[in-house]
Amino acid sequence: MNSDEKMREITSAANPFIKRLKSLASSKKARLESGAFIVEGWRGIDTLLRHNRRRYNLETLVISSEWSNDPRLPSGIDTVVLPAHLLEKVSDVQSAQGILGIIRPSPQPFSVPAAGRFLLLDNLRDPGNLGTLIRSAVGSGFDGILLYGDCVDPFNPKVIRSTMGTFAYTGIWSIGQRELQDLLSMEYELCATTGYEGENLYRARFSNKCILAIGSEAHGLSSGLMQLASRKITIPLREECESLNAAIAGSICMFQMTQAIQS
């Protein structure tokens, strides 16, 4: 439980703290400028507290009065108590959970490991898809997420919520052409997903140095990435189904690639 001196109450919607919360919830620019983002719900906060305090620091807890005496709350954390109606103004979900955290990440620069499996997302704009792919990457044992091009902000509240807390278990980096070339120079295979004429995913074998590239649903992978790819992978589908959602396709590929990894 939080000590009394760390807990304070705010009741006015005009308080600058409320303005800050709203901006962190709604604005990528505000998140970049402040170097912080919001995690809503106990699941995500608890995951951070238990597993990744080095990469993500819980700066402030924001709770409704119902949470004030909850024994699970950590001690020594700045805690703000808000009335339910103010929490609802900040939350972007229909039923606010009564607790959120302001998180300050400690960015780690991307460095190329000797081996690994990475998911590269090219201009992926849908926050739900990104959150689901992060969750599947963690579940399938991939080593990190590489955001390439104009991707949705990984700290968008909708992304964080869609990960169901798993974002804390993996590295997420925005990379450009230089970092990608560094990976390729270290003999990583760039495996591009395509709807046709690629290797059958279920017959392919993969090394322990691979990058799975997934594009946006609207446009697929960019021509530049297609040209750089050393392999093209296709999920075989019945003719009645023309394509799959990007998150579903990426998830299928990651789990199959893990299964088919070459030692």
Helix (H) or strand (E) holding 116: strand 116-122
Residue located via tokens 């991707």: 151
> Which residue ranges in the chain fall short of pLDDT 50?
1-4, 263
What's the CA angle centered on 155, arms 149 and 161, to 5 degrees?
120
Q: What is the pLDDT of residue 260?
A: 87
pLDDT of residue 262: 56
pLDDT of 186-232, one tens digit each?
A: 999 999 999 888 999 999 999 999 999 999 877 889 999 999 999 99
- pTM reported for the whole predicted model: 0.91
> Quick one: which H or E segment has residue 62?
strand 56-63
Per-residue pLDDT reduced to its tens digit, 145-172: 999 999 999 999 999 999 998 998 999 9
* Domain ranges for the chain: 4-105, 116-259
What pLDDT is stored for residue 95 in this prediction? 66
Cα–Cα distance between 118 and 223 in angstroms, integer?
20
What does the alpha-carbon distance between residue 167 and residue 80 come to, in Å, rounded to a whole number? 24
Domain boundaries 4-105, corresponding CATH code: 3.30.1330.30
- State the DSSP H helix or E strand holding residue 255, giving kind and residue range, or none if neither: helix 246-259
Report the pLDDT value the prediction gives residue 53, as an integer from 0 to 100. Answer: 62
The answer to whether 106 touches 56, Cβ cutoff 8 Å, is yes
Superfamily of domain 116-259: SPOUT methyltransferase, trefoil knot domain (3.40.1280.10)
CB 53 within 8 A of CB 70: no
